[in-house]
């Protein structure tokens, strides 16, 4: 049985990330008997590169990454299919994208987007940009041909985690710069719960097919036994345990579950269509 240190990566998209992963590290050390150390990255691309670094390479490397759905697929693509999905939150199931528009305005159904402007989030946000453009194309509405996009490339590298670009989308719809906007359903539900928007001001005119979101991703070199111990430890965390609860609630889940790749096929097709599997170093060489 291996007792080596397990290096876990996460992206620092918000100040709350630090106490979340300090709590997770404490749990692994004190209750699960796993020597886990957490490394925080500024972008998912940097994290994925570290996940794919070999044990003998002189670069930062990690064993497991807490990835967005896009970062998981990039890990899979860039490793030649050698990375593997480990676990996810219960709240990562059943995500959707919604298109919202002013009540009584020009856009009352998705077909009404033709000839109009749709606000979307950061280009690397699966829920606020990549998937809405893809799903709309499947409905016969092609970006740039049938409708115009107002893009907010805010916090690129964080894959939409900060929610900043979705806030920009919401403002653009409310102030009339866009006829409609695409948001992830968790952001939209939060807006409604917090009464950020006046009741009845906006309607959902379209909801996408469901898809899964974040995923713990294993390096190609992670020993299967260590991966099993890691996922077993996650499964033992309980929202009913007062020590576990603050960490789970801060990360937005009630329990960790096995990997579910529902909807990943659509995102994979969208990434290929939109050029999102291009390696970061290739993009830098091209000056993009």
Between 3.40.190.10, 3.90.550.10, 3.30.1490.20, 3.40.50.720, what CATH number should domain 6-92+212-286 receive?
Answer: 3.40.190.10
- Return the pLDDT at 183: 98
Q: Which residues of the chain have pLDDT under 70?
A: 1-2, 281-288
Tell me whether residue 185 is exposed, middle or buried, using C-beta atoms within 10 angstroms of its C-beta: 0 to 12, 13 to 18, 19 or more. Answer: middle
Q: Which residues of 73-106 are buried (b: 16+ CB within 10 A; e: fewer)?
A: bbbbbbbeeebbbbbbbebbeebbbbbbbbeebe
- Return the pLDDT at 256: 98
Domain range summary for the chain, segments of one domain joined by +: 6-92+212-286, 97-207
- Return the pLDDT at 57: 83
Q: What is the pLDDT of residues 90-107, one digit of tens each?
A: 999 999 999 999 999 999
- Return the pLDDT at 2: 54
- CATH of the domain spanning 97-207: 3.40.190.10
Same topology between domain 6-92+212-286 and domain 97-207: yes
Q: Are 249 and 109 spatial neighbours (Cβ–Cβ below 8 Å)?
A: no
Q: What is the pLDDT of residues 157-176, one digit of tens each?
A: 999 999 999 999 999 999 99
Q: Are 115 and 84 spatial neighbours (Cβ–Cβ below 8 Å)?
A: no
């Amino acid at each position: 049985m291996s007792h080596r240190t397990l290096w876990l990566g996460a992206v620092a998209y918000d100040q709350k990330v630090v106490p979340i992963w300090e709590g997770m590290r404490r749990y692994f050390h004190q209750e699960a008997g796993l020597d886990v150390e957490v490394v925080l990255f500024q972008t998912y691309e940097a994290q994925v590169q570290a996940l794919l670094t070999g044990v003998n390479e002189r670069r930062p490397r990690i064993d497991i990454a807490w990835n967005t759905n896009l970062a998981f697929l990039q890990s899979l693509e860039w490793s030649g299919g050698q990375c593997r999905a480990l676990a996810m939150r219960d709240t990562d199931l059943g995500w959707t994208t919604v298109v919202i528009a002013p009540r009584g305005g020009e856009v009352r159904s998705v077909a009404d987007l033709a000839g109009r402007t749709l606000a979307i989030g950061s280009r690397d946000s699966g829920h606020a940009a990549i998937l809405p453009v893809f799903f709309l194309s499947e409905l016969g509405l092609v970006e740039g041909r049938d409708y115009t996009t107002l893009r907010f490339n805010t916090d690129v590298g964080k894959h939409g985690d900060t929610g900043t670009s979705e806030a920009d989308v919401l403002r653009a719809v409310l102030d009339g710069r866009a006829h409609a906007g695409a948001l992830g359903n968790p952001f939209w539900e939060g807006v409604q719960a917090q009464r950020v928007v006046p009741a009845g001001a906006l309607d959902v005119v379209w909801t996408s097919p469901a898809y899964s979101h974040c995923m713990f991703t294993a390096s190609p070199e992670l020993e299967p036994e260590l991966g099993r111990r890691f996922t077993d430890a996650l499964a033992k965390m309980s929202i009913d345990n007062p020590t576990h609860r603050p960490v789970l609630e801060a990360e937005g889940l009630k329990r960790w579950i096995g990997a579910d790749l529902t909807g990943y096929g659509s995102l994979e097709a969208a990434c290929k269509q939109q050029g999102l599997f291009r390696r970061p170093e290739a993009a830098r060489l091209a000056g993009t």
